[in-house]
Structure 1
Amino acid sequence: MTAPISEEGRLGAYLRSRRARLDPAALGYPVGRRRTPGLRREEVAQRANISPTWYTWLEQGRGGAPSADVLDRIARGLMLTEAEREHLFLIALGRAPDVRYRPVDEVTPRLQAVLDAMPFSPAFIKTATWDVVAWNRAAAAVLTDYGALPREERNVLRIMFGNERVRAAQDDWWSVARFVVASFRADAARAGASAEMTELVEDMSRRSEAFATLWRSDDVAAPGGGAKRLHHAEAGLLELEFSTFAVDGRPELAMAVYNPATEETAARVRALLEGAASRTP
């Protein structure tokens, strides 16, 4: 009967498998005569800036638990993908690595296609700092025409506190604004965007006393979903149900989808979009 592999053994096996797939020639190392495929242990240690002896021990399952910093260095040295880096942390430390926030300016065509597949449900994708980076036609018609805004103003906070038309459309602006600020605080912290959050908060506090007041309350809310009533200038009262979804593999992105809550709202949204399409050259 085969003995179960220990956690140290799993870590060593994973490190060896990732090391074996690297091409020495492509990384500038002489090929020469190598007993096994991939890089040598001392070459990985050099790339990770750690002791060759300790790296050897890690592969042999006797190096002890490495720190998160060392694992990050090894991940870079082995050129691991984000998924592989996360797996490395789970094996070595029993937890996922701390989230590293990555600014995003646009989404893939595949994600845009997901938005476009919901023609009568306003939907958009936002970053951890709530910059809107993609949206569908329904979102532009019902919520905000993001394409008409400068890129730096396509931010949910800036729109909520700086756009009078959006403010007037809310059924209870103060309650909505409180929820938005509390949800933003949770999102940005979860994604590890502390520096970016601080910069945006300072700017928003200078622009809006209402935002500054709500931010000082330190409220936190889960941004999962809820109900929304909008007084649209053309379509009238719209009753919507919204849900927020994480984008798989992209912790810095979230998708918000607003579905009509009543048949009347669905008809009004459809008429609004059809009217906008008829006016488009």
Structure 2
Amino acid sequence: MKHIIVPIDFSKESLNGLRLAIIFANRFDSMVQMVHVQKYPTDLTPGQFEEENKKIEKKLEALVEEYSTKMSNSANLSYIIKKGKIYREVVNQAHAFEDSAIICSTHGASGFEEFFIGSNAFRIISATQCPVITIRHGAMPRDIQKIILPIDVTADTRQKVPITTEIAKVFDAEVHVIAVATMQTDEIDLKLNAYTKQVCSYLKEHEVRFQKASLRGDNITDITIEYALDVNADLISIMTEQNIALSDFVLGSQAQQMLSRSPIPVLSVTPKEIFIMGSFKTYGSGY
């Protein structure tokens, strides 16, 4: 996580994304780049547009001056102004760097409001293989001390383990491995037990503190969030469970529910088709 991209629209909510990015940057020694995406207004002349662009630049410079003092290395905070579709420009900027992540608020103002609220809120996550951490209003943690790692019966549920482990090591956080399901059968229990055992062995091998639990309920999102709140967790790690059969960017219902409801920041990892016997592997990880 050497580069962190933060979409900024100057709302209080988008600044929460910047504050969370700084928490991660100070631990990972990352570069943080704010990205403001500007649409070309049809009712402005080119001269007026340039004037508006200068105003935006001054606002971004003010943010650099204010928030660089909160970083371990003040030179690690910068900005860029882009034009186009917000999710596409943010993702393109993240893809311009190796080992990058995106941290953003799920709410915003002006041009971001139409993007972050509703079904289009998830396009930025669906359009990238980079890890994305989202934060809702009022959900700012002071540190990352406890991470919830839900494990279900899907084949790709374990792809989030390496990046979660990396974050846990950097923050010296405790990982709560929770086996989650909506029903209980011998087949489900056998698979969940095998998966959680493998995950716990991985965490132990990498010297990460962990706890293990098993949860059953009608809705996986609800029981995961309830557990996270009970233990005062600071981050929930999920797979985005994309529906690759559809031509557009679509997240599965569980991911949408988690991103919409969780009062705790959420790390979203996009599935990558892999098959490596006896090990994990995911995008951007050397594990």
Return the TM-score normalized by structure 2: 0.24
TM-score (norm 1): 0.25
Between Structure 1 and Structure 2, which shows a larger proportion of helix residues?
1
Larger relative contact order (Cα-Cα within 8 Å, sequence gap ≥ 6) = 2
The structure with the larger Rg is 1
